[in-house]
Amino acid sequence: MKGMLVIISGPSGSGKGTVVKNLKYALSISVTTRKRRETEEHGVDYFFCTEEEFIRMRENDELLEHAAYVGKFYGTPRKYVEERIDKGEVVVLEIEVNGAIQVKEKFPDAVLIFLIPPSIDDLAKRLAFRNTEDSLEIEDRITRALEEIELIDRYDYLVVNDDIPVTVSEIETIVTAEYLKPHRSKDRIEKFAFAKTSNIAEASHQI
């Protein structure tokens, strides 16, 4: 069975970073030109790079998708994702909406999940509490959050992130249900088609 691409988007401050770290799936690490926060580690949270390095990767077709967000570049390294998908694994991308839409166009089987906080007040509170952005950037991120919410219709699922363990279990339920969709099990269906065309009597003797 082929792997599955799961895209998780949501406004900055929706808590999606914590959620994706708690999922039991392979998590793609993005490259970004934004500054590293004190709590972040290179190669764990992001691969931090210069604009020149980012442009070089983009030109060499090393990125599966890329987008600009509040003045910085973000992109998904292609190699890791393709290797894991080929092995049949579930790979999670935690990316913004423009990148998500690019991935869905290239891979229509990708599952798009939009994560929102219970309210816009929660969002502002979470961003302020995080204390990693200045007030101007918080404002930009809230504006961007409201723009992103308008694109919810492009997503397959909407999950309200009120409680991390509940959100994690809801996402795992979505992945399980997606795996049970017939179009993802073509190899199993083909086995039945083969039995139908071969000698059924012979096949039943062998059981």
Selected binder of ligand 5GP within 30, 33, 161, 167 (CB under 6 A): 30
Asked if 157 is part of the footprint of ligand 5GP (rule: CB under 6 A), the reply reads: no
Quote the CA–CA distance of 99 and 30 in Å, as a whole number: 11
Kindly state the smallest distance separating residue 95's Cβ from ligand 5GP, in Å: 3
Q: Which is nearer to ligand 5GP, 74 or 114 (CB)?
A: 74
73 contributes a contact to ligand 5GP by CB under 6 A: no
- DSSP for 13-36, written as a single string: TSSHHHHHHTSSSEEPPPEE-SPP
Candidate residues 15, 19, 76, 117; the one interacting with ligand 5GP per rule CB under 6 A: 76
Question: Closest approach of Cβ 191 to ligand 5GP, in Å?
Answer: 38
- Is residue 75 a contact point for ligand 5GP (CB under 6 A)? yes
Site for ligand 5GP in 77-136 (CB under 6 A): 94-96, 99
Number of Cβ atoms within 10 Å of the Cβ of 46? 18
